[in-house]
Structure 1
């Protein structure tokens, strides 16, 4: 008899890192208290570029420029609001965009954060904030 428990699932997400004046763009969904880096999950058959472009159009009403997409890195941590052991793996990209940023669909508001706002974001975003701060890409 094998008493090993299966590993907890990993939530696979994509995120768009947009920096301006040493601040990062963050979004908050309706009825949520935590801000997160905009993005979301792939649908079946979507590439990272297709999924991220679709999610950002839905959330922020702007269109990412596919040729400008650049991988920043992949970060993993406990998933905010999930049972202990459930982790999120966030693959992050930068990209240019067309249009005017605005909260759309499930997004209640968008804000520009510095590293000082670390307590207001989930665990994986905290890792990303620190990574950006260490590289002097966001201010304290």
Structure 2
């Protein structure tokens, strides 16, 4: 399998506010919102990656003890045409107030249920957010 065919592997976070809205971010040069997160560094596990990425991108810390695995999903990558992205996703709690930092141009709190009101990456819209809704419904936290 060549590099062009292998998916971009990332770890993504679903972060909810008290109103059950979900945090999404838009990188500089993109018009599409995605889940916060990023690519693993060598030797990191998924939650270490999320902790590092969320600190770099948003200035927050995650509470790893409360993270809920939502699954691993694959779809078209929005920022690299012709590539696929494979995201391992977690529902996480954070400490701190998210701020735009690093490569992030904008953040938005959107409804967990469609319509989301922003242009959302296929990975988020078709896989991650439905998995988050299902997990919340199963745990009795859905509104």
Fold-level match, TM-score > 0.5?
yes
Cα offset for 1:118? 6.8
Query: Residue deviations 1:64-108, cap 9 Å, x none?
Result: 122222211111111114343x21111111222222211111112
Gaps of 5+ in 1: none
> Whole-Å Cα distance in 1 between the matches of residues 67 and 130 of structure 2?
22
Point out the more displaced range, 53-62 or 107-116.
Answer: 107-116
Name the larger-Rg structure.
1
**1:40 and 2:38 equivalent?**
yes
**1:12 and 2:14 equivalent?**
no
Alignment of 1:1-140 (within 5 A): 8-20=5-17, 21-84=19-82, 86-114=83-111, 115-117=114-116, 120-127=119-126, 128-133=128-133
> Whole-Å Cα distance in 1 between the matches of residues 32 and 55 of structure 2?
21
TM-score calculated relative to the size of structure 2: 0.80
SS of 1:116's partner is coil
How large is the Cα RMSD of the aligned pairs?
A: 2.4
Equivalent residues of 2:70, 2:132 under 8 A apart: no
Number of residue pairs aligned between Structure 1 and Structure 2: 134
Gaps of 5+ in 2: none
SS of 1:108's partner is strand
TM-score calculated relative to the size of structure 1: 0.82
SS of 1:89's partner is strand
> Whole-Å Cα distance in 1 between the matches of residues 142 and 101 of structure 2?
25
Query: Residue deviations 1:7-39, cap 9 Å, x none?
Result: 811111101101232321001112221111000
SS of 1:82's partner is coil
